Amino acid sequence: MSTWRDVGNTVLMLLRWAFGLMKPVFRAFLLFSGGLLLIMVALACTRLPFDAHRALGLWGECTKAPKAIVVLGGSGMPSGPELLRLQHAAALAQVIADAPVMVVHPPDTGVMRLMIAELMLRGVPRGRIHPLLHGANTREQALAVRTAFPGLAGSSVALVTAPENMYRSVRTFRKVGFSAVCGEPAWDNPMFIDLDYAHRRIGGKVWVPDVSQDTGMRYTFWNYLKLEITCLREYAAIAYYWLNDWI
């Protein structure tokens, strides 16, 4: 019986020792996390997240009509990001009637069929659509396009992708030899309507804060918080690509 008691005491002693070693680490982690949260909340009250996201999207923007359109996929179908890219690519294809449309997506034939169908639904003839089922990240997709369409390397190529991915995508394609590549970011379409409402008229409680006239608190603040996460994720990806000499 004393043997089991000794084992239990030894385990407790080891746990106390381990906790003592980790306590400063936990404290530092909590302080860092709390500080980061406060910074993000403060930044969400400014327009800095919007400007950071916009700067990523405007980098390398096309200034003239391209010879080819490349849609970078990877979000699945149907999804908001993928549909936005396809809508933007189809609109661009309508303006530049002779430009082929290359659709690059990881090897999923079902998703590719849906992407092609969406482009055709928006008026792009099937003969202009060139699917390429290869590439799990932007670097691999750029290499795949260079291998499959070597003649495009010296031509003006428009990349259609999410705004936050534009800087990394353009730099990646230029790194593998597409010297004239430019970006066509698939921006969201903003709404220009009045979203105020009458709090009490629709049954709002007296003791609940009335934010019916404050669209900044209801929408902008939370949207900017999401943009901060989006930009932080993209900055991490840019750093990873830079360390690998991919951009």
Residue among 96, 148, 87 nearest 120 (CA):
87
Mean pLDDT of 202-228: 85
Mean pLDDT of 105-129: 94
Categorize the per-residue pLDDT at 2 as very low, low, confident or very high, splitting at 50, 70 and 90: low
Mean pLDDT of 50-71: 92
On average, the pLDDT of the chain sits at 88
Domain boundaries, position 203: 193-247
Domain count, the chain: 2
pLDDT for res 247: 92
Mean pLDDT of 92-109: 92
Final residue belonging to a domain, choices 185, 202, 231: 185
Residues 6+ apart with CB under 8 A from 159: 70, 72, 166, 169, 170, 173, 181, 182, 183, 184
Percent of the chain at pLDDT > 70 equals 96
Residue among 89, 57, 56, 83 nearest 70 (CA):
89
DSSP structure class, residue 59? T
pLDDT for res 127: 94
CA distance 132 to 102: 7
Residue among 134, 158, 148, 153 nearest 63 (CA):
158
pLDDT for res 50: 93
Domain membership flag for residue 236 = yes
Domain membership flag for residue 12 = no
CA distance 148 to 49: 37
Q: Is pLDDT at 98 greater than 90 in this prediction?
A: no
- Residue 80 shares a structural domain with residue 135: yes
Residue among 210, 141, 163, 208 nearest 57 (CA):
163
Domain membership flag for residue 240 = yes
pLDDT for res 7: 63
CA 162 to chain CA centroid, nearest Å: 6
